Structure 1
């Protein structure tokens, strides 16, 4: 029961409210006379019972409930007072001692009331307008919602998957005069390998140990002669010929990506050399032939493998960031309590956030796909509609996860710790940067249950293979993503209702 005191000619006016609905508002004595009750507490009880009878949400135990009303002003059970600058004062005085059985029943019914799952268009629209106004009053949210996806996508495409360049490698060429050895060194890609001549292998290895070089290339004094014998006189080949006609490479293998790049460039250079000096260069090839690939190309880059996972990760966590602090901030500012007083349900609160922030999420999805597919030319062999739909579902799942974190946590710091705790496990276990087939069995089965694992595999199959919904690997990504989103929203509604 809320009393509103208006200074002036109007005197004291009492407003009686239940579940956000104003039951009656008049001076105290008029309420007592009109409803023919001895006290305001009795008036309030009668109005509540009438309201319950009208809405049909009361049970048959209302008539058997024992209510003891204490009207003594000196023994108030609960009192709340406050003043405002507009000369309006609010106070609440309650002296209702309710039977314990009724308390337990009301507590249970309030936690599981079916009205929490019903939607009011008026409530939903009002909450959406409120959320839009909050976003418009914080232009930084819109600014970062536009800049962050562009920045993250650009950084990934520019910084990941390209060949390393200007890698210093020591070169020891003992052939005098150099012939085939010189031709071989000319075939090495100078963009990746920076050749540094040194006098001996020992000096080159010492430079590698000091961190000056990434490796050492050594060719013997009879490299050309031994190479000719190796290719033209197979019957004369011995270990000395094999050693003298070989290019000996000593690499720093602590950085596997750089070492693999150097190995690839040095092998390609030798293939170019044999193509120039041999009438049939296939003689120098190993007897394992890799034909044209069924999917992809022989020059597939790591960025093509990682792009699907990075796209969905950016979308998921950006959507999560938009909603993760929403309920915590509203609870801290008192807006959430005002919404409960106004009679809105937890479902309406969550749905209003999903609809409003969904506009920002769709904008982020468009920006990410434009930069990945149009600006940086990541190969796409599949349907753009399927790609967009999967990205939208991942954004929706990210929103739901953000609302779940916001409903569970009480402070901004707790939300940040909660979400950060999920970030790296999802990155590492969803097959984004390394195939899930390489994981131990236990981690593998955990991985396939995560919200992004099958989504990553499905998007990768769409982009690189052109697959559609007829493949299980594709539609599982949609189903699992939607299932996780529903789970997060359900848990959010439950925790909101518990903490209401």
Structure 2
């Protein structure tokens, strides 16, 4: 039996038979139990708890060790008089995290695939617990279940005795520090800003955050705190990511493959930091890895394959128990055993395991000649190995209590015997001289103390303000990109006003004048035939007239695409037109026919054909009025009998631009917000930033709200620029309330942003996001009446358009701009506000649900 002492008020004894005895002084209590049968008390008597008889203490002490132990025990009792007052039972094993019968499946129905198959693990406090397995074995899924990102299909998870996400649980939240497999950092931030962001999420005071930054920079050997994350090396980014998980001193640290893809030197450095955290600060560490050589640094290692937990235990004890050389051989043997059991060949494997290992590793390996049957019920065995108090297993597989000031007291001869056994049967065991330093009880993190400091309102405010600050800092650091994104709507709107709704000009039109030869006789300016007066009345800015020598040549010019129309005058056009103006009642049919002008159009270009017709009709109307006036008649006789007074609403000569402009501005606001919001959130999720925020205690609605506020600021800036340009540069008429017009356009931008957030809750890649935006844009663009009135559609599409998020809002803006209506006195305007707000709420509600499901 051995003993050692320290300054703490506790005593730990180990007997030759391996059973442990603990004497614990906790404020006012003291007791010790030997073999769960005999108890020491302050009266120096030994009470047999089974037979309730009293025995001389010397009889027991003479069988367990030298007199030195008795003196040490008496000194400890005398130095703690309160130990005479009460008796304390041995403490139970405490676990930082447990998973019981955990099953999780991806997919549904026949396509469902189990990622976790009945997983049960127990992670003792202050241990370093490594989950070892190949890629795709379920390590990340198990970690996500532990941190509260995934809800298991069956079974349950507890962290510090509480189910993650429950009312009293600190997970997700300050009870855990999480480092995702990705770097999970903001490239635009400095090291200081990164740690301040995570510190504010946990509502830490600024002075505390500064102290932690100073400590972590020194502890993790980080560069200066004003260095940008984007300018750090890969290894430095990993350490900054670890610092972000440690900034609030969590009692549990979960690292998802932190050493993947980095050099061995940095890997060794990270494990050195982890050993310091567990031994000096009492932090429990759960780490996933697929590097077998790393697992030897853990207090406990759990082997996983195909979603199943094969074995768990102390690395050195596993090597000793399976009589193998290293963990790689242990893992290989476990995998072969599982494969043989699945194939129904378990007995065959048991008979041939020794030969299998010799074949794999050669004859110079440390394996027992006796066939080894790997235990299936490993959890019971693991519980027995760690059932004594909060015993911590060091890197060499020996026990050391985290509650004891004394090292384990072992019989010297027994230890020598163990060393001889290890030297003979475990020659290939890796040497590791780093032993786990016992952690005093007051150092071990206490989650319940953190629970007492929680305030829901202040927590929500702290997280929301931290997220908003983060968003605005990222915008400021990407100011050129944000300005470009803000100016895109302005550029698009400028192109719209410059390119759409304008009249064409220089439209090629050929003509043949049968009254004279146009190639030989130039066009006279006075006393000319009426055909030439009609040609002179045509707007030469819009129509470019080109004479031809024959009718057939005029037809060919249109068929070949050289002209958009062909105009033909008859040889007696002047005489027939005069008689038609003076005495149309006495005209015969032949004269009437000669008074017409034939216009042959190219209707393959309908827009040009309509414009040509409009200009020719205007020219002929002008010619008719001049003809009547020249002959002393009232020119109004040439006008249409239907008079059109000034309009009651709108302009006298509205343009297509005026019809499309409100709809285009609304659509621009909607779709520009979709792309910005969806891509921002998809990239944050892809980089692991979303998951890290959620594990830090951020609620999905807080995360969404922060982006809504940030993007709304951008939308308002964009809308102000667009409206200023539309009203003051391109002079779009406005007769309504500018404030409510602006509010409705901003609401459409927010609705588009909410739609983008909903897309990002579904999408995992940028390509899907862009495809979803483009695929939904054109149907809604057409159904909303942007380019063509809604009431021209089939009846069933009219019903569909009424529920589309933009249709009613576009009509409302048109009513306010051109009719001067307001939302308080006109239902057609109010419904636009209601539909916009309703769709925003619907999109955000669906996005919140999807974010909760697809964490």
Structure 1 length-normalised TM: 0.80
Shift of 1:171: 1.3
Whether the 8 Å CA contact 2:675–2:770 is kept in 1: the answer is no
Asked if 1:289 corresponds to 2:643, the answer is yes
482, 485, 504: which one aligns with 1:164: 504
Structure 1 residues 80 and 284: CA distance shift in structure 2, 3 A = closer
Q: 1:165 to 1:122 in 2, by over 3 A?
A: same
Of 302, 317, 337, which aligns to 2:671?
Answer: 317
Structure 1: state its 5+ residue gaps.
1-28, 59-77, 98-114
1:407 to 761, 764, 787: 761
Residue 82 of structure 1 aligns to a residue whose secondary structure is coil
1:458 shift after superposition: 0.9
C-alpha contact (below 8 Å) 1:308/1:460 kept by paired residues: yes
Match status 1:425 vs 2:775: no
Deviates more, 1:178-187 or 1:302-311: 178-187
2:545 alignment partner, SS class:
strand
Q: CA deviation at 1:203?
A: 0.9
Query: Which residue is 1:269 aligned to?
Result: 619
- Contact 2:580–2:587 (Cα < 8 Å) also in 1: yes
Matches within 5 A, 1:461-472: 461-469=815-823, 470-472=825-827
CA distance in 2, matches of 1:118, 1:232: 92
Higher RCO structure (Cα 8 Å, ≥6 apart): 1
The Cα shift of 1:33 comes to 8.2
Q: 2:258 pairs with 64, 71, 82, which one?
A: 82
Deviation at 1:217, TM superposition (A): 1.0
Aligned residue among 809, 813, 824 for 1:459: 813
Structure 2 partner of 1:190: 540
Corresponding residue for residue 339 of structure 1:
693
* 2: CA distance, partners of 1:166 / 1:49: 80
Query: In structure 2, how many angstroms separate the alpha carbons of the residues matched to 1:121 and 1:227?
Result: 85
Pick one of 79, 95, 106 that aligns with 1:40.
95
Indicate which of 475, 486, 491 corresponds to 1:135.
Answer: 475
Measured in 1, the distance between the counterparts of 2:456 and 2:773 equals 27
Counterpart Cα distance in 2 of 1:128 and 1:289: 61
Alignment of 1:12-23 (within 5 A): none
Q: Which whole-Å deviations, capped at 9, do the CAs of 1:182-215 have from their partners, x for residues lacking one?
A: 1111111111100001122221111100000000
Equivalent residue for 1:444? 798
1:254 alignment partner, one of 604, 609, 628: 604
What is the CA–CA distance in structure 1 between the aligned matches of 2:838 and 2:614, rounded to whole Å? 43
Pairing 1:475-490 to 2, within 5 Å after superposition: 475-490=830-845
Query: Equivalents in 1 of 2:747, 2:163: separation in Å?
Result: 45
Note the alpha carbon deviations across 1:431-479, whole angstroms, 9 max, x for none: 0000111111111111111111011111111112222222222111111
- Superposed displacement of residue 264, structure 1: 1.0
Give the distance between the partners of 1:32 and 1:481, measured in 2 at CA: 67
Alpha-carbon distance in structure 2 between the residues aligned to 1:32 and 1:357 = 58
Give SS of 1:171's match.
strand
- Per-residue deviation, 1:344: 0.7
In structure 2, do the counterparts of structure 1 residues 174 and 226 end up closer, same or farther at CA, with 3 Å as the change threshold?
same
List runs of 5+ in structure 2 lacking aligned partners.
Answer: 1-21, 28-89, 98-123, 126-157, 172-253, 260-265, 275-284, 288-299, 303-311, 313-377, 380-454, 517-526
How many residues align? The count is 435
8 Å contact kept, 1:117–1:345? no
- Residues 344 and 206 of structure 1, relative CA distance in 2, 3 Å threshold: same
- The farther-off stretch of 129-138 and 469-478 is 129-138
Deviation at 1:51, TM superposition (A): 10
With over 3 angstroms needed to count, the CA separation of the structure-2 counterparts of 1:134 and 1:179, relative to structure 1, is: same
Inter-partner Cα distance in structure 2 for 1:466 and 1:168: 41
Query: What is the 5 A alignment of 1:355-370?
Result: 355-370=709-724
Compared CA separation, residues 342 and 53, structure 1 to 2 (3 A): closer
In structure 1, C-alpha distance between the alignment counterparts of 2:854 and 2:561, rounded to whole Å: 59
Which residue matches 1:91?
A: 286
**Other-structure match for 1:15:** none
Contact 1:116/1:346, CA 8 A, preserved across alignment: no
The residue aligned with 2:561 is 211
1:396 equivalent in alignment to 2:750: yes
Distance 1:315 1:293 in 2: 31
Which residue number corresponds to residue 69 of structure 1?
none
SS of match in other structure, 2:647: coil
Matching residue within 453, 463, 472 for 1:123: 463
- Structure number with the higher helix fraction is 1
Aligned counterparts of 2:544 and 2:734: Cα–Cα separation in 1: 34
The 2-side partners of 1:381 and 1:119 are apart by: 47
Change (3 A) 1:119 1:285: farther
Q: Secondary structure at the match of 2:258?
A: strand
Q: Counterpart in 1 of 2:578? A: 228
Q: Do the aligned partners of 2:162 and 2:168 also contact (CA within 8 Å) in 1? A: no
Q: Take 2:534 and 2:616, find their aligned partners in 1: how far apart are those partners?
A: 9
